[in-house]
Amino acid sequence: MSANPFDDSEARFLVLTNEHDQHSLWPATVTVPAGWSVALAESARDECVRYVERNWTDLRPRGASPMSELASESSSSASLACRHRSEAEVAA
């Protein structure tokens, strides 16, 4: 048995996710840390790895994808346009 539970290929694992939809392979014998929830119940390591490979295809944290950047830019532009319109109305 390996001293590091993360390296034990015979151990049982969980797959955890956090609020950013990041995934983690986690030893079933170790307490789930705050901020993480169980996405796949206790399973063999290989099954957990397959789950992560199928379900975590974009390694960027949620909110860091190009689409969210575009949405953020669009929202900023809309805010800027509203602010300019408001300033113009006040000046009139």
pLDDT digits (tens, 9 = 90+) for 36-46: 999 999 999 99
* Residue ranges of the chain whose pLDDT lies below 70: 1-2, 59, 61, 64-92
In three state form, how does the secondary structure of the chain look? CCCCHHHCCCCEEEEEEECCCCEEEEECCCCCCCCEEEEEEEEEHHHHHHHHHHHCCCCCCCCCCHHHHHHHHHHHHHHHHHHHHHHHHHHC
Instruction: Give the global pTM.
Output: 0.63
